[in-house]
Amino acid sequence: MHRAAYALGDSCAKETAAGAAGGTTAFSRKSQRRQVLKAPAFVSSDNIRTSTSISLRDEAVRRMESFVLNVIYEIVTYQGMKYERQRKGDAQHPADAALRSEDGDDACELRSPERQPSGPNLLTVSSQQQQLPRLRLLRQQLLVLRHLYANVQLGVICTQRDVYYRLVRFFPDQGCVNRVIQQLVQQLGLPRQLLGVVPGTRGCVGGSLSFHGIDLRRYSSEGLPLPVLREELSVVWRPKHECESIPVHSPEDIEGFELHNDIRYIIVVEKHAVFFRLMEEKIFDRVSCVLLTSHGFPTAAALTLLSNLHRTATDVGVPVVALVDYNPSGLSILQQYKHDTGRIQENRYASVHSLRWLGLRGCHVLHDGSTEVADSQRLSSGIHAGDAVGHIPRVARLPFQPFTQRDDVMISNIIARWAAIWKGCDDGEDAQRVWFREAQIMQTSRVKVELEAIYECSASGPYEPTQKGFSSQSLHKGSFSTWVCRGLFRRDYI
């Protein structure tokens, strides 16, 4: 065990001995326990890049061992407080002490009501019942931590699904294991990979970048499945002629992704179906871009890769734009990419605050006669507009679905959450006002439109020519990528 862990254990023992000798009160002991269990500083991605693998492993082991010592200290302190309360109660109520000596210490819950103890002993039973959930949680955390500790010592990384299969007798479902791992991430201040575990990934990437020397533009339209290891999610900037000159049969020479020097956009797509459509239409041949999807809400791998892509391409001013459905779930996905508010702290370092909203928006969905839609179009072009007034028609020009009660609750929560997130944020008043206004338009119009509606309506041809949309004659193969490119070239994103 490391010297730091021994030092922490010695300090815990000294505090316990001092409290017993000086008659420490329960309140002061709780204060000591809260101070000892304070979570350490989180190891960010910048710390990881500037540290060696050996030092990171040693730090993870040290924090795990310190956590176990803290748990032992908490249990021992609780048992000491329990014994002290029982001793004081026995001195004040000798009859209850005699009953407990006859029936045993744990028999109080099995007695008949007339023989139940009273006074401080009854409070002891109540406090025990209150401590049971906490003790169960500590047991679950120690069970998971035992496997993660072995992984770190052996240099092995497994998935959260593997952890569940190993502990299937002790956990009711996979979600319980995931929550325990999230709690350990928060309390230890370590990313999951440093704990020897990674979440199961979903999502794909494609376009103008290479992976281990393989040009993803020549990959299938399904895209490359996202890797899970932090090293394979790294991104470097390399001229395209250098990428093509590296032999494909030597992937060990390259680690992670390589951006081509002609890249112009990074496009985040909500759905794999839309991602597949854009890959099938080879949008990257029209405009050099990277396509990324997480099949819905972003995973840790998707957030990390997007953050690395953005950080690498920041110097050349490559914008990051998003294509999501016109519904509250699409807004939630935008929020996760832009300002991650999840419980996993490691994801918050991977948020891309400069993310811009390409579509779908009110100007793409609602009728052009709406005053609010006209204001939305002017704002997306960077023209200042006052607060829009007037009536938003509840008839969309694309196939739509009406809001449900759940959608009403979601959009209200999103607007309130955006107000809290952007308070004091330096995103700029214009960007905040435009996003808020778009959310309010959606809340008032109460319609939902999916991205697939843009290219699926070509069969029936109901979509008449508009300033921002398609004509029914233009909806042929490649028209969806044409629409996306048109929005990119016009900078029609907010």
| H helix runs in 257-342, sequence order | 272-280, 283-286, 300-313, 328-338
**Under the phi-then-psi rule, with left for phi > 0, alpha for psi from -120 to 50, and beta for the rest, what region is 234?**
beta
248 CB burial (10 A radius; 0-12, 13-18, 19+): exposed
- Distance between CA atoms of 278 and 263, rounded to whole angstroms? 16
- Distance between CA atoms of 317 and 312, rounded to whole angstroms? 10
- Distance between CA atoms of 63 and 57, rounded to whole angstroms? 10
127 CB burial (10 A radius; 0-12, 13-18, 19+): middle
What is the DSSP annotation of 306-317? HHHHHHHHGGGT
- Distance between CA atoms of 317 and 470, rounded to whole angstroms? 29
- Distance between CA atoms of 365 and 449, rounded to whole angstroms? 7
- Contact between 361 and 398 under an 8 Å Cβ cutoff? The reply is no
Residues in the chain: 494
Tell me if residue 178 falls in helix, strand or coil. helix
Helix 120-154 to helix 174-188 angle (10° resolution) is 90
- Distance between CA atoms of 387 and 164, rounded to whole angstroms? 52
Token representation of residue 448: 């939902």
Residue 68: partners with Cβ closer than 8 Å, 6 or more residues away = 142, 145
Residue 285: partners with Cβ closer than 8 Å, 6 or more residues away = 217
Residue 165 annotated as catalytic: yes
21 CB burial (10 A radius; 0-12, 13-18, 19+): exposed
Q: What is the DSSP letter of 391?
A: P
Catalytic residue among 6, 83, 165, 455: 165
Nearest alpha carbon to residue 303 among 258, 365, 347, 356: 347
270-308: b (≥16 Cβ within 10 Å) or e = bbbebbbbbbebebbeebbbbbbbbbbebbbbbbbbbbb
Residues of the chain by 3-state class (helix, strand, coil), percent to 5: 55, 10, 35
Instruction: Give the distance from CA 273 to its chain's centroid.
Output: 22
Tell me which residues are annotated as active site.
165
